Structures are given as C-alpha cells and as structure tokens.
Amino acid sequence: MTSPVVDLADLAGLLGVDERQDGLARRVLRASRVVSPGFAAYVLSVVALSGPELSAEGARELQRIVDRADALRAVADLVADLEPQVCKGSTIAACYPDGTRRHVGDVDLCLPSAAAVWTAAVRIAAERPVERVSVQTIADQVAISLSWSAPDPLYEADLHVDVFTTPYWGDGAGMPVRTYDHTLPPAVQSVMLLLEERCQRAWQATDFVDLAYLVRCTDQPELVRAAAPLGLSRWLGALLDQAVAHDIDGVVPLAPELGRPHDGAVRAVRGAVHVGLPLDVGPSSGAVEMIETDDVTLVHAPFGAFLMTSVADVTEEQVDRAEALLDDPTSREAPDVRVTRLSAPVAPRSGALAAG
C-alpha cells in the first residue's frame, strides 16, 4: 500500500482481487463480504470516497454502521460513571481517516474492579433487552458477555457487549489469563488486542486494515515494551511480518536495534477459569450474589443464575444442589453455605430476560 488512505487498489491487493479487470469496486466489495458484513460496509465507505456515487441501498448499509455504533456507544454511556476503558472498537475507529467507517461489531469495556464489572452487567441488563449472557471468572478477574437482537436482525448480527477486568483471556492452553495495564495508550492497547486475537483465530483483512491506521498512532518501541509482559512478543513480530507481506502502507518489520522479540515476566493470573453454566432459575431481585458450599459455587444475578465450574462435566447432583439453594432462600442459612454480595442492588428492567 502506498497511499496514506487505504484505497480500492490497496484493498484489491489485500483481498486477492485483480485490479486490472473492469468493475474493481464491485469485485472488491464482493470479496470483502466473504470476510464479514462489517468489513464490506467499511469497503463501501472507501468506495464512496473514491468517487462513484453509492446507490440508495449502499447508503442505507453505511447508515446501519452509524446507527450500530451509536447504539453501542449509548450502552457504554450507561456505565460511564464506573470509568470503563473502551477496548478496540471506537478506539481504533478514532485512528481511521475522516469519511471512512470502521464497523463496530460490539463494545468491549474494561472496568477497574470485579465489583464494577458485576454492577455494569446488572445495569446494562436492566436497560437493554438482553437475551443471552455468559460469565467466566478466574481468581479476582471477571468477564461477562451480554447480547440481544439488532433492530434489523435480517441484516445485522446481534448487539454484543463484553464487560471485564481484563480482555487477555489467552487460549486455554499455553497462553494464560493476564492482567490489564490501564496505563497503556489506547492505540498501543488496541495493537495488543489485535495480537491477542491470534489466540483464537488467524489474522484477517480487517486486522491488517486496523493495523495500517494504528501504526500512525504509536511506535515500535512502545509496542515492544507493551507486548513483553503480556506474552505477546512473538505475535508482534509475526503480525508486522504478515502486514509487510501484504504491503500494508506504513508497516515495517521490527527495527533491528529493538532486538529479537522476547517476553519478560508475564502478568499471568493464577488459578482455574470457571465458566458459568446457566440454570433454569429466575433472576435475583437486584444484587449479584455468590453462593458457595463445599461442592458448588453459584452466581445469582438479575440477568440469570449460573453454576460456576472449571470442568467440562457437571453432575446432575451438583445441578440439583444448585437449584435447591436458589429455590429455597432459607437453605442459604445453613452453616456450610457462604453468601457474598458482588454488586450493589440495581432495579431490574421490567420484562428483562434471564440467561438461558
């Protein structure tokens, strides 16, 4: 890529489209839809900048990006007083040139404490028609995902919000859960999260376009320093090398004077990841509570009830025990039952759906 803005020719090279043939915009757009609908909408914004006037349907597709971003920004505003940091999403979009539209698939909010995460999830579930919730914990780290149908589900994926104390959950194998550094500049943090994506999937065209703009907002020494304690140094070198291979403008291999990438003392979180198994029990009356016995750990919240487990197989006896504790509040008064309040009460939204 040679231009300061990613143009159609650049996208053609990235997507493997022959730019010498006629109908370049149509063919690039068709190839981008294979990557994702959101990436196709970004390509539409590039097409609009390059001159051809968009059809009414193309304009509507671009407007859906704007509307979706506004809807997710409004969700973040619900918990603004909890001091979340937005990860990726609008942070990356801020590095994009005027006139281009980066698709915002979801909103990721990193909060300063587990209590803030639980409170944020309760508040969002009280104000939005949440249909699905997932919960995972390890030590004092928490991640909660909430989603619900988009206004036009035929054309759009569900709206999705993640609230957590750290976005670095690894791969469940060699890469551990790591803590979040709130002091990193937003652009540096965004590059680290591009690297973290490699724990789940191969990088794709959307990642390389993001990188093309993020490198203008940071520098290599910053990235090297940030990657080491996250265990992401080798991925940093690999991402830059792959971007160079795709001829991404402004991206170069790691400077020789920075040395071979290597990880320092990784900020790993010790313990086992516990995942919440949704239970067929109604939501709590307002606060999030953790209920523990020697054999089960439960989370009961306004957005659902969950049996927390670190193993794939859960016995029927554990499920029965968990549901009994939730169905009969007096059973929680037994000496072997420990109840901990995880959030302040928030009045549930009328008609809110529990997880399931």
Per domain, the residue ranges of the chain are 274-341
Length of the chain: 356
pLDDT at 9: 85
At residue 339, the 3 state secondary structure works out as strand
Across the range 92-118, mean pLDDT stands at 91
Please tell me the distance from the alpha carbon of residue 120 to that of residue 79, in angstroms, as a whole number.
6
Across the range 201-205, mean pLDDT stands at 93
Pairing mode of beta strands 159-164, 107-110: parallel
pLDDT at 51: 67
Residue, of 205 and 353, whose pLDDT is higher: 205
Mean predicted lDDT score pLDDT of the chain: 88
| pTM, two decimal places | 0.89
Exposure string for 78-112, b = 16+ CB within 10 A, e = fewer = ebeebebbbbbbbbbbebbeeebbbbbbbbbbbbe
Task: Please count the other Cβ atoms lying within 10 Å of the Cβ belonging to residue 214.
Answer: 24
Q: Write down the residue that tokens 């506004």 correspond to.
A: 70
Of the pLDDT bands very low, low, confident and very high (cuts 50, 70, 90), residue 140 is very high
pLDDT reading at 158 higher than 60: yes
pLDDT per residue over 11-61, tens digit each?
A: 998 999 988 888 888 899 999 999 887 888 889 888 888 766 788 888 888
Please tell me the distance from the alpha carbon of residue 273 to that of residue 215, in angstroms, as a whole number.
33
Residue, of 58 and 270, whose pLDDT is higher: 270
* H or E element at residue 141: strand 141-148
Spatial strand order in the sheet of 141-148: 85-87, 107-110, 159-164, 141-148, 132-138, 274-278, 304-309, 297-301, 289-292, 338-341
pLDDT reading at 192 higher than 90: yes
pLDDT reading at 198 higher than 70: yes
pLDDT reading at 260 higher than 60: yes
* Burial bucket for residue 343 (CB in 10 Å: 0-12, 13-18, 19+): buried
pLDDT at 81: 96
Half-sphere exposure of 244 (CA within 13 A, CB side): 11
pLDDT per residue over 292-337, tens digit each?
A: 999 899 999 999 999 999 987 788 999 999 999 998 888 888 999 9
pLDDT reading at 227 higher than 80: yes
Q: Is the separation of the CB atoms in 50 and 25 below 8 Å?
A: yes
Question: How many degrees, rounded to 5, is the angle at CA 46 between CA 45 and CA 52?
Answer: 90
